């Protein structure tokens, strides 16, 4: 199978000189928010194999969620990512692909459920936190670091955080042993200029520390791809994407768009296209994701998309004007 990039397409200027850029596939983790992580092993394995063949750097398999909050019998394996479930799909992962799990602050029994690195097939723990949870996140970062993991922190919903509070939070995180601080456009509400400003701010915070800045975008305004490229152009070196843009609500930056844009010879798009054709085209007949007007409306008002998700699941799912008016009057 020919997985090389077409020889008649030159690398995208700037990206051919950035070997430090790493791409993370969060298809199973973020996509699992649509269906309670009830993906069959066959689909998870197909995504894993496509990531390996495509030269993707990281794959996020799911969450390390507390089973007292998220009952194991009500969620799929990728909500908890127990070692036996991970190894059932990836074995010992004798590849260059690094594996990731996400741990939500206050929703993870991290001391118990995140085992020492030498006992796990996981390479990186990504701590997800809101600004008010940073004290918990700091403890989680230290715990994962001491257990031998590469550690990332995803600071969520920054579009709602006052400047001074955000700066204080970033300064605290920069003093921890975290390896990567990820800018997260949780509501898909940020515009490219705002992404540029936030990225510069994050880069300034980590300057001289050796830490990297990452970007994770949602597609409510159909800007997830554009915003990811903006952040990368400014200097973000950890780029999140999902196959076919799957993810909660409006979804994420599409992996196929990102790899097609970069064209730097490191990544191969064909395995991603094959996986989408074989698995995600049929999946769209069962699950809904992608940019739709209700998600645009919540982003317009800088709101979490949960209300749009509820609307789309109901009988009156296309009543856009009434939905808009509810937010406009609130």
Q: Are residues 114 and 185 in the same domain?
A: yes
Please check whether residue 252 lies inside any domain of the structure.
yes
Q: Are residues 54 and 191 in the same domain?
A: yes
- pLDDT-derived band at 262 (thresholds 50, 70, 90) equals confident
Q: Is the pLDDT of residue 7 over 60?
A: no
Q: Is the pLDDT of residue 155 over 80?
A: yes
Please check whether residue 60 lies inside any domain of the structure.
yes
Per the prediction, the chain carries an average pLDDT of: 94
- pLDDT-derived band at 2 (thresholds 50, 70, 90) equals very low
CATH of the domain at 84: 3.20.20.70
Q: Are residues 200 and 308 in the same domain?
A: no
Q: Are residues 181 and 315 in the same domain?
A: no
Q: Are residues 244 and 181 in the same domain?
A: yes
**Domain range holding 257?**
22-283
Please check whether residue 302 lies inside any domain of the structure.
yes
Q: Are residues 251 and 307 in the same domain?
A: no
Into how many domains does the chain fold?
A: 2
> Of residues 239 and 14, which shows the higher confidence score?
239
pLDDT (mean) for 144-151? 98
Q: Are residues 301 and 225 in the same domain?
A: no
- pLDDT-derived band at 13 (thresholds 50, 70, 90) equals confident
DSSP of 216-256, one letter per residue? EEB-TTS-HHHHHHHHHHHT--EEEEBGGG--STT-B-BHH
Q: Are residues 251 and 317 in the same domain?
A: no
- pLDDT-derived band at 16 (thresholds 50, 70, 90) equals low
Closest CA to 239 of 220, 267, 265, 271: 267
Rounded distance, CA 51 to CA 61, Å? 12
pLDDT for the residue 265: 82
Please check whether residue 11 lies inside any domain of the structure.
no
Closest CA to 155 of 188, 189, 132: 132
Q: Are residues 257 and 205 in the same domain?
A: yes
Closest CA to 48 of 93, 1, 103, 114: 93
**Per mean pLDDT, which range of 13-27, 85-99, 222-236, 241-255 is the poorest?**
13-27
**Residue after which a domain boundary falls, among 246, 263, 283:** 283
């Amino acid at each position: 199978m020919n997985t090389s990039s077409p020889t008649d397409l030159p690398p995208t200027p700037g990206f051919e000189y950035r070997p430090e850029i790493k791409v993370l596939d969060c298809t199973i983790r973020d996509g699992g928010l649509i269906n309670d992580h009830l993906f069959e092993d066959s689909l998870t394995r197909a995504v894993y194999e496509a990531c390996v063949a495509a030269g993707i750097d990281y794959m996020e398999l799911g969450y390390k969620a507390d089973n007292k909050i998220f009952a194991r019998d009500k969620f799929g394996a990728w909500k908890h990512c127990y070692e036996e479930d991970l190894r059932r799909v990836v074995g010992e992962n004798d590849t260059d692909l690094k594996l990731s799990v996400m741990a939500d602050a206050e929703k993870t029994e991290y001391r118990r459920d995140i085992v020492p690195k030498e006992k796990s097939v996981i390479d990186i723990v990504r701590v997800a936190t809101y600004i008010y949870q940073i004290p918990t996140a700091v403890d989680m970062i230290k715990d994962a670091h001491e257990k031998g993991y590469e550690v990332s922190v995803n600071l969520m919903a920054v579009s709602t955080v006052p400047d001074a509070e955000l700066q204080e939070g970033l300064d605290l995180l920069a003093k921890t042993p975290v390896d990567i601080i990820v800018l997260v456009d949780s509501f898909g509400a940020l515009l490219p200029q705002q992404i540029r400003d936030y990225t510069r701010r994050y880069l300034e915070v980590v300057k001289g520390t050796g830490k990297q800045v990452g970007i994770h975008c949602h597609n409510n305004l159909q800007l997830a791809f554009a915003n990811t490229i903006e952040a990368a152009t400014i200097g973000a070196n950890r780029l999140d994407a999902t196959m076919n843009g799957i993810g909660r609500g409006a979804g994420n930056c599409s992996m196929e768009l990102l790899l097609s844009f970069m064209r730097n010879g490191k990544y191969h798009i064909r395995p991603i296209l094959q996986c989408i054709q074989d698995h995600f085209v049929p999946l769209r007949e069962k699950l809904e994701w992608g940019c739709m007007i209700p998600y645009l409306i919540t982003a317009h008002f800088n709101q979490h998309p949960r209300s749009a998700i509820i609307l789309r699941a109901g009988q009156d799912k296309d009543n856009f004007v009434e939905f808009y008016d509810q937010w406009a009057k609130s």
